[in-house]
Structure 1
């Protein structure tokens, strides 16, 4: 059963950072000042965009010529000079069809990597949504996280972004940090809400393998808040964001009405997206493709072999999902959304009924108070939202 072709999201992975944070498992390299490598990366990314936009004779990747969201993530995209970011955005707008003024163009920045003039230039270049990696507004916590900024710089960056004309502004925050208690989290959240963001992404710290924090925790050298404090932090977060007019729409995301991140909704709806850059993932025509996590090799393949088959060889892993695999992924990703997944929509997309497909597994989760029906939507209960990983594991 084929799905109708819809506009895709375009994700541009900028893999450079000033330094590698001790908790981060995303692919990036601490080469923030390597201008030669950055310029090679931009040239390579342009070639990859050109080949994908042209379809290169491959039907399965030529379908999504229209994109209605663009997201520059990383890494830290803003370590690239502004003119290089503007060049990449301009290339994407030239190569892909877009819906004009309704196009959402997001950029991740970190305090300490941009100033007011940079933000003015980025806004003029066409970026209209900004996500600022604040993480904490406690200077001690920021030092322990290995961040290059302090509270004052974070607040200044928000002010500059507003002055530059960003009317869609998101902040990233983290809780459950080393040395953090309920009082310090309350202060950070209150101070963040006082900045009047349009969107908040609030993540509990998770210890990912191959990170410094993971190794320290295994050695007994990293002390995190106990589970009962984590639960209190989550409850406080829900109360305060709601009071501030930010509606929780996904496990970790809160937004004012009308400004949920439309690009990320594509992931949660299991829609098509195009990934540009080393380490970026694409999901097209039911096939997921991951690019090589090596900046130098990525550039070499595209710059030296881009006119041949080098652009294809940047993909080092691919998986084509059958109908049941797509169905499972759509259910699991969709349950991250507070609204849940539509039984009717799933039936239309896949010809499968969720209750019949999961049978006793779904009934067990319902009896355990982790999922519930709200009309045609299956959604996580408040308890299910707290234990989302447990629920998802049952549905794989």
Structure 2
């Protein structure tokens, strides 16, 4: 058989008289020829059909490159498209929400008037425990640490206030702690409110502070002030009732179990050293309209912190405007009324919203 017959189909033949060459050279030459043929065929196809070329690849916009404002606008646009054409359904949801607010307000007012003690206990428990769930779930460690310190110290003060027999120093310790909490919460609330107002007026630009940072600081400070103000007032009321009943001068219902001397304070049970018309180094002596004399610190804690509007001994109504002459301290009483309103918003408003969402889900409203 001839050498050309043994060669494979398509393998180039060595011309006669040509010296033998390495096999690798023939393979490279064959590969180069094949590659050249493929390139020529591709060029011919591109020249014949230029419309078949691949379209240019455009870079896709990633959401990570969007700013926070653009992300918020994009979410609002998606929400608008999702709820387009649901106007009648939204009206029904608004009516359900308003009716639930009115009914809840009536129920809570009646509950507070008829069973005020149980209302205060449930509200206090809800205000104390519910934020713990959200702080652990959302990893708010700063609030959790402050909540832990407040809970530990308040638990110790509450333990001291419920001991029998009651130590003579316990009432003053209790009122000092809760009066400190009251003043700190008031200061935090004022600072937070001023920070929010200054940010809205643009004063943060003078200090080169971003509006988002100053607004966050104001909201957090205002929340701390309002939350711990509500908690401190409720715990102070519980301690004041228990201590006064333990001392014996005050009774929630009925006559006092002990007689009050002229030189003894009915709140703490200690003797009054400073005379009525003298100026004391630490505190003065106050005399109410019922002619009963008390330590200034004790009666201020009784009336303001403990929300007591009556004399600890004879239960006569106390005129706070006459007793508190400093105009700056009158705002404390107004601040206490604001805290009463915020107690409803913080403790019971989430419950109302949860009930409304349950009603909407049962009715198929979105």
| Pairwise TM-score range, normalised by the shorter structure | under 0.3
Larger helix percent? 2
TM-score (norm 1): 0.24
Larger strand percent? 1
TM-score (norm 2): 0.26
